[in-house]
Structure 1
């Protein structure tokens, strides 16, 4: 009991120190910085801003509710990390799901580890942490690597050291960004795996990529089967589905708009023409879940 009381008193002391002196702390050399920075303190949620450098934009609502329920029962087991801003303001470095879940159940404070960081360090920390997550899709990982190259000016070798991944692994992820956006969307929606994507990268022609992608979905092809199709195509044996011979010349306005419509629905969309600028738009689906996703887009 005495130990618990001392811990609570320590928490109150640190919080008081934070309230009284934090506005003066802007670097590690400032007075009391060593007592605040590196400490875990209960901070009011309203004093914490969302990380503008957060590379993840989607948070599963059901998973958030499950986390909120856990926090309600057990509390926040792992503190979030924040950086010190001017005054008594803070900004999330990591732990946005815990932050959102705590708000969801009406908590007013959250345990937080405090550190100092500039904008570039914030972006780098957010991206590196994001890459380490287990539930990311391959395109999310690839985009995070690309941002480290574009915005932090890291080489692939430097990234390899920061994130603890082989350079060849990083290169394989980055190559996925060369795929057609429709195929990238399919990978993000788990219709195909990274293995399928890596096989399709070897096809330079976008139309051939999309034809094989549709065949993967329709016939539920394995990665090995996909690799075989790609190999045959590169050797001059075209096993990709053949498009029907068009009886009517496709109008320019259709060709111009088809790609945008296909990207929106995440599938290659076809048209059936009947002449005089008339026809039908055909949107394929490959499962009940896929059908419901398309239905939502149409509502």
Structure 2
């Protein structure tokens, strides 16, 4: 059974004559839909050395966008390595495809490679959806994935750019990232990520840590408007303190309180004797 990228290649082969042309590198512009943003310099240097020695074994795929300009469809690593090798022309197959087909093909080709970063992949899918007005289900069908898989990958972009950089630089997995998404509080999530990296936690340990942190956060009421109104009315809290002190005094406890009102705080000092003192009536009986 053909994979999505193999089926698309076959479709392009049937639509095109597959003639290989030598095209000047200066006439080839990058594909704007290319999801990959980082390229391993060591691998590029090795590929460049191979190209210098053996030439380009697999032609690049391009599409013509004007009389003298082409857009790269597939083969950016080969193109970059060719530049490093000092080539001025590269062998290409000119495909008859639309901009949309080109973007999908570029993304599909990169998705087949295991070294595509998790956030590069998510951003590539997101860009494809936004640019061509696709639904998640349509994108899933075109990319040969389940709709739930697409949704989970897009959720990764809810992490801040800084968090994404930390995850990539630390070599954490997609499962690590998905676990962090369970933490809604930014500061708490940042704390969790720092601990995961510093202690080199695996995915199971990360799930456990996230669960502990989530359970440690006090649950708040769902009615935000009500809770804010209560918090703002300090008189309710002050009256509660005063009533508590009065209640203790009525019970025969010699509770003492001292209140200080500053610019930023209301400070209470409450003194409660450790031993219960009997009311005066009982002492004289």
In the TM superposition, what is the alpha-carbon distance from 1:35 to its structure 2 partner? 10
Contact conserved, 1:130 with 1:144, CA < 8 A, in 2? no
Aligned to 2:204, which of 215, 224, 228? 224
Match of 1:179 among 159, 163, 169: 159
The residue that corresponds to 1:66 in the other structure is 46
Q: Which residue of 1 aligns with 2:95?
A: 115
Contact kept, 8 Å, 1:55 with 1:130, in 2: the verdict is yes
Query: TM-score, normalising length from structure 2?
Result: 0.65
User: What's the TM-score once normalised by structure 1's chain length?
Assistant: 0.62
- Equivalent of 2:27 in 42, 47, 55: 47
Deviates more, 1:184-193 or 1:149-158: 184-193
Question: What stretches of structure 2 of length at least 5 have no aligned partner?
Answer: 1-13, 219-285
Q: 1:38 to 1:178 in 2, by over 3 A?
A: same
Alpha-carbon distance, 1:237 to partner: 7.0
Look at both structures and tell me which one has the larger radius of gyration over its CA atoms: 2
1:194 corresponds in structure 2 to: 174
Give the count of matched residue pairs: 205
Give the ranges of 4+ consecutive aligned residues of structure 1 lying more than 4 Å apart after TM superposition. 34-37
Task: Determine if contact 1:180/1:206 at 8 Å carries over to the other structure.
Answer: no
Shift of 1:115: 0.9
Q: Deviations over 1:17-49 (max 9, x none)?
A: xxxxxxxxxxxxxxxxx9975322232333323
- SS state of the match for residue 93, structure 1? strand
Q: 1:131, CA displacement in angstroms?
A: 2.8
Match of 1:296 in 2: none
The residue that corresponds to 1:153 in the other structure is 133
Distance 2:200 2:37 in 1: 30
Change (3 A) 1:36 1:219: closer
Q: Distance in 2 between matches of 1:190 and 1:144?
A: 21
CA positional deviation for 1:191: 4.0
Counterpart secondary structure, 1:52: coil
Aligned partners of 1:35, 1:43: CA distance in 2, in Å? Answer: 20
**1:120 and 1:152 in contact (8 A); partners too:** yes
Give the alignment partner of residue 128 of structure 1, picking from 88, 108, 117: 108
Q: What is the distance in 2 between the residues matched to 1:181 and 1:46?
A: 33
- The answer for the alignment partner of 2:62 in structure 1 is 82
C-alpha contact (below 8 Å) 1:191/1:217 kept by paired residues: no
